[in-house]
Amino acid sequence: MATEPHPLERLDTTERTLQRAQYEAFEFELVERGVLVRNASYEDPSDHEYLVTIDNGLPKRCECPADQHHSGACKHRVAVAIRSDVLEPACDAQHVRDLS
């Protein structure tokens, strides 16, 4: 039985983005449409809060400017992808929504 590659292996990203996704103080909230990612590294984290949507087990889109204007996955999508305790419940919730 073949296993699917880790979500990080399926994302096009840079080493710098991967590093930032690991060390910045992200907070995650599972919401109906995906994962709300808040960057608590900033003085006002609510100004740095973006929705990451999940599609087929992969953080596919983010509402942040970097994801909209640059190629490759942004740090918010990568941050979700590298945290199985965030990604797995989001995938489960997506699966339940798809069954409804």
Question: Each residue of 13-22: pLDDT tens digit?
Answer: 999 999 999 9
CA atoms of 47 and 68, how far apart (whole Å): 17
Give the residue among 62, 74, 75 at the shortest CA–CA distance from 34.
62
- Mapped to the 3 state alphabet, what secondary structure does the chain carry? CCCCCCHHHHCCCCHHHHHHHHHCCEEEEEECCEEEEEECCCCCHHHHEEEEEEECCEEEEECCHHHHHCCCCCHHHHHHHCCHHHHHHHHHHHHHHHHC
Q: Sketch the domain layout of the chain as residue ranges.
A: 10-99
Share of the chain above pLDDT 90, in %: 67
Radius of gyration of the CA atoms of the chain, in A: 13
pLDDT digits (tens, 9 = 90+) for 46-100: 899 999 999 988 999 999 999 989 889 999 999 999 999 999 999 888 777 666 6
* CB contact at 8 A, 98 and 43: no
